[in-house]
Amino acid sequence: MNQQTLFNTPQQNLTSDDYYTPAWIFDKLKITFDLDVAAPTGGCYWIPAKQHYDQQTNGLTSDWFGNVFMNPPFSSSKPWVDKFVEHANGIAILSMSKSKAFDRIWNDQNGIVVLPYDLKYVDPRGGNGSIFMPSIIVAYGQTNIAALHNIGRVRT
């Protein structure tokens, strides 16, 4: 099966931000989201979200609802983190970095899990990819905090 079959984003439109959350994370979380706010075109079939926003529907300018999942563009995560904190109901995967976005989420979140240092993301170009910074999963809301316990030690 070629990448075009797996992902609807044409290869020429991919950027360095196109690393998708691996399926094992959702298998462990065992919850369904109402909305994936930063999905690739057509969404990712393994992300248990009833609806998704992609670049065309623009999750930053569209209204969020219900329990959201967010894997924002790592190159410009601050506005996404700000909107996620304001929404305060969901789970996000983010990089741990020296940044205003990380500082805000660290000081505001309801629950956080540091992911394994060797986390491999799904690279739509083929195979797995990693980013150069450690990753975290952040939660708001009791259902989401409870789901984080399936991944690892939750810090609140």
* 131-147 tens-digit pLDDT: 557 889 999 999 999 99
Residue type, 5: T
CB 89 within 8 A of CB 140: yes
What pTM was estimated for this model as a whole? 0.83
In the prediction, which pLDDT does 91 show?
A: 98
Q: Domain ranges in the chain? A: 3-148
Residues 99-129 as b/e (b if ≥16 CB within 10 A, e otherwise) read: eebbeebeeebbbbbebeeebebbebeeeee
The better pLDDT of the pair 16, 124 is held by 124
55 has a pLDDT exceeding 50 = yes
Which class would CATH give 3-148? alpha beta
